[in-house]
Each structure stands twice: as C-alpha cells, then as structure tokens.
Amino acid sequence: MERTFCMIKPEGVQRGLIGAILNRLENKGYRIVALKMLKMTREMAAKHYAEHQGKPFYEELINHITSGPVVAMVLEGKDVITGLRKLMGATNPIEAEPGTIRGDYATEIGENVIHGADSASSASREIDIYFTQEEIGE
C-alpha cells in the first residue's frame, strides 16, 4: 500500500470542514494512519515550501500556512497519491470540478482548503516534517 501526506489548511480548519474532508477521504477508501492538529512554525513552513523559496509568492505562502491550526495526516491506500490529487481537484478552485474537495469548498487559489503531496518523494519528505515513525500506525 502506498502512503501520502495530506493537510487541511488553516481556512479549512477555521471554516469547520475537518469532519467533511476526513469523511470524503475515508469514504474513498483511504486509511488515516496518522493524524494531528498543529500550529505550524515558520521553520516547519519553510521546510514544507522549500521548493518555492525565492519565488514572489513564497512569503505569502508562509504567512498563510502559519496563520492558524492545520490538520496534518498520513493516508494509506492503493494509488493514494494520484487518487488524492484527483479527489482534491485543481489547485485553482475556479478550475476544480464540482464534487472535488476544492471544487466544493475552496474559494480562491490562495485558500484552497487542502494540500496533498504530488509525488512519492514529496510524500516521504512531507511525512518526515510532520510525523515521527512512532506516530504512524501500522
């Protein structure tokens, strides 16, 4: 089984969408093997968004993701990386199909409610930022 990293962003937590999003993930058949709510530090955010450092929107990303609590999780399932990306929908909510998480809940590109790793290497790197091996269930 494949594993990936997923996060409900501050606006999703603030808007009370945690239950609805977790329900969609579990209904899809993904198993949540680690889950926690936390307030990201700037250092964590810098690690998470390292590939965007130096880009014009980098500071905005950091400020946004550290603006309130997030829900971080590790999901497990068959082809979960690709499947989660489809379930989330396009990054820009205007382009996200109805029925996807972003299509149904996101309001703008900078506040698109959810993040999911885009590759196996990103998933591994992101999981290591947020979880120790002891925190991840079997």
User: Active-site residues: which are they?
Assistant: 115
> For residues 69 and 10, what is the distance between their CA atoms, to the nearest angstrom?
5
Query: Distances from the Cα of 59 to the Cαs of 14, 42, 62, 72, 129, in angstroms?
Result: 21, 10, 5, 21, 19
- Residue 77 per-residue DSSP state: E
> Strand, coil or helix: what is 62?
helix
Report yes or no: 64 and 10 within 8 Å, Cβ to Cβ.
Answer: yes
